[in-house]
Amino acid sequence: MNDVTLSYGKHLITHDLLFTHFGLSGPAALRLSSFVKGGETAHLDFLPQTSEEELLTLFEAQREKSCKNVLKGLLPERLADFLAQPLPEKIKQLSPQEKQVLVENLKAFPINITGKMSLAKSFVTKDGVDLKEINPKILESKKVPGLHFAGEVLDINAHTGGFNITSDLCTGWVLGTPMY
């Protein structure tokens, strides 16, 4: 799904998200994975551009329609089917409480984080050699003169979208230039 908001505590990530056979993936999940360990509950806003009030107004305007069709107008089909499962046939049949639960599911769907994939399946690693411990110009350790670092081993955990590989290539280029 494009541009959903995944949140945990103060971390609010609006980006694309994938539902896969093993759980959540895609840029939003990858970014949130920096801040969680497993055991937390994150929340998913499927419609960050639409407020709760706007949803309630929309339901009122489409009260004669089936819940499934109204949700299909807002979400991918299989997700709409999933959220419509426990609901009565039509929007007008929703009790005020059911309407509220539906809005909460759309705006703050709880996601229990059971854990993260293994290191072998990771895209990038958080942590590594502290940037404060190296001279940024020549990437030399301040603790061990003559020892230089480049790439993933540095504590650089950039946003998804090519920034990691860019910093790896740049630091590799710096170390590979003839001045060394």
Ligand X SMILES: Cc1cc2nc3c(=O)[nH]c(=O)nc-3n(C[C@H](O)[C@H](O)[C@H](O)COP(=O)(O)OP(=O)(O)OC[C@H]3O[C@@H](n4cnc5c(N)ncnc54)[C@H](O)[C@@H]3O)c2cc1C
The DSSP symbol for 172 reads H
Residues 51, 59 contacting (CB under 8 angstroms) = no
Q: What is the Cα Rg of the chain in Å?
A: 23
Contact call for residue 168 and ligand X (CB under 6 A): yes
Question: Which residue, among 167, 171, 164, 151, has the nearest Cα to 27 in the 3D structure?
Answer: 164
28 is a site residue for ligand X (CB under 6 A): no
Nearest to ligand X of 163, 180 (CB atom): 163
Binding string, residues 80-119; x marks residues near ligand X by CB under 6 A: ----------------------------------------
**Is 133 within 8 Å of 141 (Cβ atoms)?**
yes
Q: Which stretch binds ligand X (CB under 6 A): 33-41, 61-69, 137-145, 159-167?
A: 159-167
Total of residues contacting ligand X (CB under 6 A): 9
180 lies in the binding site for ligand X (CB under 6 A):
no
Q: Reduce the DSSP state of residue 111 to 3 states and report it.
A: strand
Scanning residues 120 to 139, which ones bind ligand X (CB under 6 A)? 123-124
Rounded-to-integer distance, Cα 126 and Cα 14, Å: 20
176 is an interface residue for ligand X by CB under 6 A: no
**Which amino acid would we find at residue 164?**
N
Residues found near ligand X in the complex (CB under 6 A):
123-124, 151-152, 162-165, 168
